[in-house]
Structure 1
């Protein structure tokens, strides 16, 4: 009635364009459906009558149904039937089981306004003999995937403004003001043809497919629940705020997580603290230049901030480099360690420190017990072996079992003595 007063509705009754009905496992043929080899028929309980419905299934359904038959996925017991524009759709929900694959590379990606920066390291190439004679295989591959989310938002904003200016004269009020054109049916009818959301979804899926082509360890930033609100703080330009709000950061991250689960990859999140402001080579703070994407390192070279962010994400997966990523310039010769000399750690009790010290003095490598695995053998044959005949080298007894059995009771006695003789400092 309110819309009729404003002249926005032409019919005396409300129009319902979409209807969704949820069926539990007791109101549709769930058991019969999951046992079928080719499910093309449904039986639904509607209005107290059992109705038979024939399906025209999509090719994506057959892809996931094959995974159900092979044990890689499960079909949820809830069925959603939806009507839109006089067409009925059956929506099936599949639960994928995580695929276990051996990772072949390490991938880090950073989402920007118009690109997605990617850094890739091949695990096999870095640990193999290839890296010893050709260093280019140990260098990370840095490239970017063009998405143009910001340009797409700017283009559609200009198109929507033109549609609003065109429809304004039709919705003028006697007071001289205008009705909010964005809430009208005519505006939604024209905007629906632009396919803005469909193009965004296509680009999001393309990025997720590119990042998860092979099983990998995927590293990305911890974005939080609503990253757009944190990014627009302090930004006064409305156009830039709109472009940031339209960039689908969480959609890309969720799409990558879904594809990683499907293809055997693992995704890890690291802190976004100082990723794009620290040099990944010298770990010093980068200085700004005339170009927003190019920063200057005080050591004498230029760094792309997108690639620096990707490299610092990879650095944060290691303990030593993580500390370098947190501090601007961490060097042992620059830190005054004499200030902390003689101080005790309040987290670790002092007797435990004494016990560890005694253990380290006892368990030392010697000729009888070298520092190698208990069942390890030397990779190169000894001097007495004849390499031409490939004779097995002699392996004399080294007495590791006796050393281990004698050292454990001795270590426990020393630990008990240290607990009784040393007191914990206050």
Structure 2
């Protein structure tokens, strides 16, 4: 199941605002006391902590709902476990964590979950606050109604626990929707490759590719190739300059008598300035933009197998500290995770293929590319230039096809094999004469001026003929984009 959280603002009166503040203060006091006891005495089990503190807090705060007391103790247990784990890793040095804010957790017994989920258009809810239940009106928005429509269609469920949180003196109800993954027919094949400042994308639109247009000459169906600018490298370079400027400005305030300086990055003043930069928020926004772009329609999404920590393998042979830092700042795994999550929600299917020599082989003639003066442009021995990013995404799509002739040579699809050991050898399963025949066919039908590697166009191909084939303005636009792709 996929989970999506949607925050909805409360319509708060002065009386309701005072009640929510009172409940939050009581809830926070319970969490702080239980966390301190749990860390000092090494009691991390929520059941043991509830057995120790529940009756005490029920007598101390009789007007507080019992479910809120239980949830406060459980939340304190989670905070204590997280703190102890960080301290074992050497990332926490204080005797116990400082809890500055909490989110109130209302179980189905502490709010009107049954009535809310049974309503066609819920606009209010009831919360168990001090002295009884109070009606709270909601300022609902488009995103909430999108997921609520899925609940009415049976495609999603609403979690029974409601989270109430205060942010900038405004109160929000956070609803958690559990979505069922969609099953859709794929409309395109999308391969993407993540670079420092761009994401290279190769897209094949299945309705237009498998239609009547390509029946004339299927050999020259060309994918749509384009770039999505991310500028992760430029963003890292910019924020590095800003952080260095902050360090130089704070250095005089942390000078030692011997002339040296305290490590400014560990000070509270430095963290306060860096927090305002919103570097992480900018990265998250760009990651979500990429995921939304690649999953607009149900598709077969192809990417490379990067491993658990791709940055470490990429910086092994890099000597410059600035370049190493920029590579470390590229969120490879976050982009993959966001795309996979959004793909399940919209009916797409993600696949991973080997990353071996995707950008070093010509996707048209399947020969090793040669270097040029430009790092991004490579030379094919058969006489044309290839952009290595576009070659990478095209070769990824080749690797996904089980009929690909590349399975018979050194470009084997099995990930566990030793690539360099078999690079100059052929597959013994396929006879050598068959390989000679395939090589002769590929050499004969290679791209040239008489046979260009572009989408074949029939004659006539006017606007009215396209409409008769089931298209219109949209089909004409799609065909023009596909014919304009370059390698």
* Superimposed CA distance per residue, residues 332-361 of structure 1 (whole angstroms, 9 cap, x where no aligned partner): 89x9859xxxxxxxxxxxxxxxxxxxxxxx
Superposed, 1:13-52 pairs within 5 Å as 16-45=99-128, 50=133
| CA separation of 1:124 and 1:276: change in aligned 2, threshold 3 A | same
Superposed, 1:215-226 pairs within 5 Å as 215-226=298-309
Distance in 1 of aligned mates of 2:259 and 2:203: 59
Q: Unaligned regions of 5+ residues in structure 2, if any?
A: 1-96, 413-421, 434-487
- Report whether the alignment pairs 1:144 with 2:227: yes
- Report whether the alignment pairs 1:91 with 2:174: yes
> How far does residue 168 in structure 1 lie from its aligned partner after superposition?
1.3
Aligned to 1:92, the other structure's residue is in SS state: strand
Out of 188-197 and 112-121, give the one that drifted further.
Answer: 188-197
Q: Which residue of 2 aligns with 1:387?
A: none
Q: 2:291 aligns with which of 205, 208, 221?
A: 208
| CA separation of 1:79 and 1:134: change in aligned 2, threshold 3 A | same
Aligned to 2:103, the other structure's residue is in SS state: strand
| CA separation of 1:269 and 1:23: change in aligned 2, threshold 3 A | farther
Aligned to 2:400, the other structure's residue is in SS state: coil
Q: Which residue of 1 aligns with 2:214?
A: 131
- Report whether the alignment pairs 1:312 with 2:395: yes
Q: Which has the higher contact order (CA 8 A, sep 6+)?
A: 2
Q: Which residue of 2 aligns with 1:267?
A: 350
Q: Unaligned regions of 5+ residues in structure 1, if any?
A: 1-13, 339-426
Aligned to 2:160, the other structure's residue is in SS state: coil
Aligned to 2:157, the other structure's residue is in SS state: strand
Distance in 2 of aligned mates of 1:174 and 1:332: 71
> How far does residue 88 in structure 1 lie from its aligned partner after superposition?
3.8
Q: Which residue of 2 aligns with 1:179?
A: 262
Distance in 2 of aligned mates of 1:80 and 1:262: 23
Distance in 1 of aligned mates of 2:108 and 2:316: 47
Out of 170-179 and 109-118, give the one that drifted further.
Answer: 170-179
Q: Contact 1:126 / 1:137 at 8 angstroms: preserved in 2? A: no
Aligned to 1:18, the other structure's residue is in SS state: coil
- Report whether the alignment pairs 1:233 with 2:336: no
Q: Which residue of 2 aligns with 1:409?
A: none
Which protein shows a greater Rg?
1
Distance in 2 of aligned mates of 1:314 and 1:74: 36
Superposed, 1:155-166 pairs within 5 Å as 155-166=238-249
Distance in 1 of aligned mates of 2:278 and 2:159: 31
- Report whether the alignment pairs 1:108 with 2:228: no
* Superimposed CA distance per residue, residues 62-99 of structure 1 (whole angstroms, 9 cap, x where no aligned partner): 22122212222111233333344554433222122222
Out of 167-176 and 105-114, give the one that drifted further.
Answer: 167-176
- Report whether the alignment pairs 1:118 with 2:201: yes
Distance in 1 of aligned mates of 2:221 and 2:381: 25
Q: 1:188 aligns with which of 271, 281, 291?
A: 271
Q: Which residue of 1 aligns with 2:146?
A: 63
Q: Contact 1:125 / 1:137 at 8 angstroms: preserved in 2? A: no
Q: Which residue of 1 aligns with 2:38?
A: none
Aligned to 1:288, the other structure's residue is in SS state: coil
Would you tell me which structure has more helix in proportion to its own residues?
2
Q: Contact 1:218 / 1:265 at 8 angstroms: preserved in 2? A: yes
Superposed, 1:317-356 pairs within 5 Å as 317-321=400-404, 322-323=406-407, 324=409, 325-326=411-412
> How far does residue 316 in structure 1 lie from its aligned partner after superposition?
0.9
> How far does residue 114 in structure 1 lie from its aligned partner after superposition?
0.7
| CA separation of 1:122 and 1:89: change in aligned 2, threshold 3 A | same
TM-score by length of 2: 0.60
Aligned residues: 325
Distance in 2 of aligned mates of 1:44 and 1:109: 47
Out of 136-145 and 309-318, give the one that drifted further.
Answer: 136-145
> How far does residue 274 in structure 1 lie from its aligned partner after superposition?
2.1
Distance in 2 of aligned mates of 1:89 and 1:179: 41
Q: Contact 1:17 / 1:84 at 8 angstroms: preserved in 2? A: no
Q: Which residue of 2 aligns with 1:74?
A: 157
Q: Contact 1:76 / 1:92 at 8 angstroms: preserved in 2? A: yes
Distance in 2 of aligned mates of 1:22 and 1:136: 59
